[in-house]
Amino acid sequence: MNPLRDPRDARLPRVAGPCAVVLFGVTGDLSRKKIMPAIYDLANRGLLPPGFALVGFARREWAHEDFAQEVHDSVREHARTPFSEVVWRQLSQGIRFVAGDLTDPEAFAELRTTLAALDAERGTVGNHAFYLSIPPGLFPTVVSQIERSGLAERPVGAWRRVVVEKPFGHDLASAQELDAVLSSVFSPDEIFRIDHYLGKETVQNILAVRFANEMFEPLWNSRYVDNIQITQAEDIGIGGRAGYYDGIGAARDVIQNHLLQLLALTAMDEPLSFAPEQVRQEKEKVLAAITVPREIDAHTARGQYAAGWQGGIPVPGYLDEAGIPPDSTTETFAAIRLDIDNRRWAGVPFYLRTGKRLGRRVTEVAVIFKRAPHLPFASSSVTELSDNALVFRIQPDEGITLRFGSKVPGVAGMEVRDVTMDFQYGDSFVDTSPEAYERLILDVLLGEPPLFPQAREVDMSWSILDPILDRWAEEGQPDAYASGGWGPASAYEMIARDGRTWRRP
Amino acid sequence: MIRLEDTSGHDIAAAIASERHRMGSPTTGMVLTLLILTDEEFQADATAAAVASAREHPMRILTMVPRPGGDINRIDADISVGGDDGPGEVAVMRLRGDRSSHANSVAIPLLLPDTPVVAWWPGAAPKDVATDPIGMHAERRITDVSSRPDPLAELAIRRENYHAGDTDLSWTRITNWRSTLAAMMDRPVGTPESIVVEGHRHNASPILLAAWLSWALDVPAAVRPTDESGISSVSVNTTDGPLTISRPDGSMALVEAPGMPASPVALPRRPLHELIAEDLRRLTPDEIYAEALRTVPRVTIGNELD
């Protein structure tokens, strides 16, 4: 117990302990745009220890200085906090580079030497995190090299951690295979699965609103809630990610991890405490209660964006994007209905949808309430009143919207119309608060797993999605939808079958 | 910006509300009201710092500048709402003549309903801020002894009149030092035996740092006065040798511990708006500050312990 850390001392941030991060895939987009800037931002906020090192590994003829220059450039371009020469000097002294191929045992031997040297020179004391920012297909190679070169051996008191990014497989079988590879060398609490869509702030905000208040939870059930709509929409296409995206598609990319996690957080019962294990248990319970519609065709929709106009700009269709085969059947839009078989939610459909090249960029969870059982007004007074809704807006502008009916001011008579009340988490929340990646990386370095789904949750999510994906695989081409709108006609039809409509997010 | 002359607290409140309406956003997401009590010397910097920290804490900022004396008895106010500088609402009020002793009655109609109030004296502050008419509205009262001609005497006044909810920016200024020290002690280290802090002879921060360490580690502490500004170094002497942070140039510090390579750590002085933003993050009483303040008399000044 550190006597300088008093639990009442709210000013002191938790600073990561001494460690070295080995980054595989340093030349990738994610490394340059997210990971390296986030590491700098953590240093700038004073959250990295003096004994910190970053080791790049790639097939490049680079010296340490060349890699440091790469990091420098990415930080200059993408970091969120202002650039400080002093912080950079602190960080750059711990930057190293190891050149080599992922299959080359000698390169890993050199990596081991480099890490040992850092332990002595920089005081990283044998704590090493391996960040695999590489395609999952390469995991077995890297993991076995790590083991063979002795990098996974843990000196007494030191830790090893491995970080992988979503997607965690492309179906249940591949997810389990991937997990087997990682688990062969690392124990479950050493494996950190990062889903950068799901920031810690978001999770904590949803839990705070639900469980810190008295006025929402009593309504949070099938008696008052009509349906729940969870949307993640992007206005961009696949950009340069053709190689990653084609064959994966919207459901695997977003629904399996992000939307199912949001569903679990929205629908779960109150955990005994916010200890990671307790939250995970509640999430697992609700995931286990999810049922997939029997008639998958009637209650799901898949689409692929066609050429169109987006905000007044002409954009190409998915099949015209560079690197996409002209006969690709990958969906860029997916909508599914799920049900939860428990007392709280029986009869309340959960609609999940995600897509690219939609109307605008937005992620939200909308809890839509039932109509009042009786409206003591003339029917003409309430023609403009729709259902009450509580919306967790996740991005942009994280906040909460509450929609309810209110009298239209004036003497024209009693007329009720929808109004919305809006709360935003701080106006410039986005530049002052740590970005999702920073919090995720800090949690890795602190060894705090609360947000990271464990293998069981990943497997459960795939079990939900697999039957839908199997059915879709038999169907051929997804329905084309015009870019810039809200998805294919089949998505509207699917929800209309239930007598409901999509919210325009 | 709107200028109101010969006005009142009620009129200022109405002007803020009407400006909100004019901008089409009558509802606000303000989380607190910040009352700044200051003379002209500190007014501009304090208001600017508050406006900058309103990015993190959307708030209503009420700067009151009492200008006693003279024949003119009136209140003038400059109001701006949601400008380019930040999302907050700002009213800078000059209380002239006999109005200068009634800041409290000006403030009451301007406090946002049912949200926390923080009072900040960037310069001179009453002896007992908690029982001051303005301080009584606030759950958090922020002073800055470093703004006074004799910060150490001022620190004694804060200590003698401390109430839960008081805090001082000379304490906020050492958070990064404390955080770095705590990080050093996250690793196994020897048993602490004594503390030596080097810092400017008229600065309260080195004393608070020494007092905090002395309280937390339960060992004697000394401050070695220097003529360099701020804190120059801190050493926790342990049975295995000293843990030391030295910052000769005011920004880059060197961290040294037994068995560890010396490493550089960025420890720059932080601008005022970062300090105030940190203080607004938690509005519950800072009990650790209270402990450090209580321990101040046990810190030896100028006497080397090691």
DSSP 8-class letter at B146 = G
- Per DSSP, the residues of B175-225 read HHHHHHHHHHTTS----EEEEEEEEETT-HHHHHHHHHHHHHHTS-EEEEE
Count of CB pairs separated by less than 8 Å, A with B: 113
For residue A476, being part of any structural domain is answered with yes
Distance of residue A109 Cα from the nearest chain B Cα, in angstroms: 24
- Span B188-207, mean pLDDT? 94
3-state DSSP assignment of residue B4 = strand
When scoring A9, A44, A81, A432 by the number of chain B Cβ atoms within 10 A, the one with the most, hence best to mutate, is A9
Answer yes or no: are the C-beta atoms of B289 and A149 closer than 8 Å. no
Q: What is the ipTM of this complex?
A: 0.87
Give φ, ψ of A232 to 5 degrees. Answer: -130, 110
Q: Which residue in chain A is spatially nearest to B82 when comparing CA positions?
A: A427
**Does residue A55 sit in the same domain as residue A161?**
yes
Strand partners, A385: none
For residue A381, being part of any structural domain is answered with no
Among A49, A86, A123, the residue with its CB nearest the CB of B261 is A123
Task: Return the C-alpha torsion angle A240, A243, A244, A248, nearest 10.
Answer: 120
Q: How far apart are CA A276 and CA A379, in angstroms?
A: 50
pLDDT of residue B75: 93
pLDDT of residue A132: 93
- If pLDDT is split at 50, 70 and 90, which confidence band does A428 have? very low
For residue A69, being part of any structural domain is answered with yes
**Does residue A117 sit in the same domain as residue A232?**
no
For residue A268, being part of any structural domain is answered with yes
**pLDDT above 70: residue B303:** no
**pLDDT above 80: residue B113:** yes
Q: Which residue in chain A is spatially nearest to B250 when comparing CA positions?
A: A86
pLDDT of residue A433: 55
pLDDT of residue B140: 95
User: Which residue of the set A72, A128, A258, A299 is catalytic?
Assistant: A258
Q: Which residue in chain B is spatially nearest to A85 when comparing CA positions?
A: B266
**Does residue A232 sit in the same domain as residue A321?**
yes
Distance of residue B235 Cα from the nearest chain A Cα, in angstroms: 14
CB contact under 8 A, A3 and B185: yes
The pair of structure tokens assigned to A361 is: 């960029």
**Does residue A150 sit in the same domain as residue A24?**
yes
Final residue of a structural domain among A113, A144, A165: A165
Strand partners, B37: B64
Distance of residue B222 Cα from the nearest chain A Cα, in angstroms: 18
- Span A263-278, mean pLDDT? 92
Largest Cα–Cα separation, chain A: 84
Q: How do residues A397-416 score in pLDDT, each as one tens digit?
A: 788 999 999 988 887 778 88
Half-sphere exposure of A449 (CA within 13 A, CB side): 19
A421: chain B residues, CB-CB within 8 Å: 27
- If pLDDT is split at 50, 70 and 90, which confidence band does A245 have? confident
**Does residue A360 sit in the same domain as residue A252?**
yes
CB contact under 8 A, B266 and A90: yes
Answer yes or no: are the C-beta atoms of A437 and A34 closer than 8 Å. yes
CB contact under 8 A, B183 and A8: no
Largest Cα–Cα separation, chain B: 70
Identify the weakest region by mean pLDDT among A241-250, B17-26, B42-51: B17-26
**Does residue A127 sit in the same domain as residue A268?**
no
For residue A430, being part of any structural domain is answered with no
Give the total residue count for chain B: 306
Final residue of a structural domain among A121, A149, A165: A165
For residue A394, being part of any structural domain is answered with no
Q: Is B123 exposed, middle or buried (0-12, 13-18, 19+ CB in 10 A)?
A: middle
**Which CATH code is given to the segment(s) B2-143?**
3.40.50
**Does residue A72 sit in the same domain as residue A210?**
no
- Per DSSP, the residues of A86-151 read HHHHHHHTTEEEEE--TT-HHHHHHHHHHHHHHHHHT--TT-EEEEE-S-GGGHHHHHHHHHHTTT
For residue A190, being part of any structural domain is answered with no
Q: CA B165 from chain center: how many Å?
A: 12
CB contact under 8 A, A89 and B175: no
Q: How far apart are CA A360 and CA A131, in angstroms?
A: 32
Q: Which residue in chain A is spatially nearest to B214 when comparing CA positions?
A: A4
pLDDT of residue A430: 40
- Per DSSP, the residues of A370-396 read PPPS---S-GGGGTB----EEEEEEES
- Each as own residue / partner, the long-range contacts of residues A181-188 (CB below 8 Å, 24 or more positions apart, any chain) are A181/A139, A181/A140, A181/A143, A182/A139, A182/A143, A183/A455, A184/A143, A184/A147, A185/A143, A185/A144, A185/A146, A185/A147, A185/A152, A186/A143, A186/A152, A186/A160, A186/A161, A186/A162, A188/A454, A188/A455
Percentage of chain A modeled with pLDDT above 90: 61
Going by DSSP bridges, is the β-strand pair A350-355/A333-340 parallel, antiparallel, or unpaired? antiparallel
The pair of structure tokens assigned to A396 is: 């942009």
Q: Which residues contact A136 (CB under 8 A, 6 or more apart)?
A: A164, A167, A168, A169, A178
A126: chain B residues, CB-CB within 8 Å: none
**Does residue A154 sit in the same domain as residue A266?**
no
**pLDDT above 70: residue A431:** no
Give the residue from A27, A31, A45 showing the smallest Cα distance to A78: A31
Look at chain A and report how many structural domains it folds into.
2
Among A46, A93, A121, the residue with its CB nearest the CB of B264 is A93
DSSP 8-class letter at B236 = E
When scoring B175, B187, B275, B291 by the number of chain A Cβ atoms within 10 A, the one with the most, hence best to mutate, is B187
Distance of residue A119 Cα from the nearest chain B Cα, in angstroms: 9
CB contact under 8 A, A15 and B255: no
**Amino acid residing at A170:** H
Give the residue from A371, A367, A368, A370 showing the smallest Cα distance to A392: A367
When scoring A404, A427, A433, A442 by the number of chain B Cβ atoms within 10 A, the one with the most, hence best to mutate, is A427
> Mean pLDDT of all residues in chain A?
90
Q: How do residues B74-84 score in pLDDT, each as one tens digit?
A: 999 999 887 66
**Does residue A85 sit in the same domain as residue A228?**
no
Among B87, B178, B217, the residue with its CB nearest the CB of A427 is B87
**pLDDT above 90: residue A333:** yes
Q: How do residues A342-364 score in pLDDT, each as one tens digit?
A: 999 999 999 999 999 999 999 99
For residue A55, being part of any structural domain is answered with yes
- If pLDDT is split at 50, 70 and 90, which confidence band does B28 have? low
Distance of residue B274 Cα from the nearest chain A Cα, in angstroms: 11
Range of the domain at A110: 19-165
Q: How far apart are CA A367 and CA A209, in angstroms?
A: 13
pLDDT of residue A440: 85
Q: How far apart are CA B75 and CA B11, in angstroms?
A: 11
Q: How far apart are CA B211 and CA B218, in angstroms?
A: 10
Q: How far apart are CA A20 and CA A95, in angstroms?
A: 9
Q: How do residues A363-376 score in pLDDT, each as one tens digit?
A: 999 999 999 998 88
Active site residue A258: yes
Answer yes or no: are the C-beta atoms of B209 and B231 closer than 8 Å. yes
Return the CATH number at A90. 3.40.50.720
CB contact under 8 A, B268 and A120: no
Residue A486's CB is within 10 A of a number of other CB atoms, namely 20
**Does residue A207 sit in the same domain as residue A152?**
no
Residues of A contacting chain B (CB within 8 angstroms): 2-6, 8-13, 15, 17-18, 43-44, 46, 49-51, 84, 86-87, 89-90, 93, 120-123, 125, 421-424, 426-428, 431-433
**pLDDT above 90: residue A228:** yes
**Does residue A252 sit in the same domain as residue A335?**
yes
Domain edges within chain B: 2-143, 175-301
Final residue of a structural domain among A165, A180, A215: A165
Task: Return the C-alpha torsion angle A134, A137, A142, A144, nearest 10.
Answer: 160
DSSP 8-class letter at B250 = S
Q: Which residues contact A479 (CB under 8 A, 6 or more apart)?
A: A301, A302, A303, A304, A488, A489, A490
Distance of residue B275 Cα from the nearest chain A Cα, in angstroms: 11
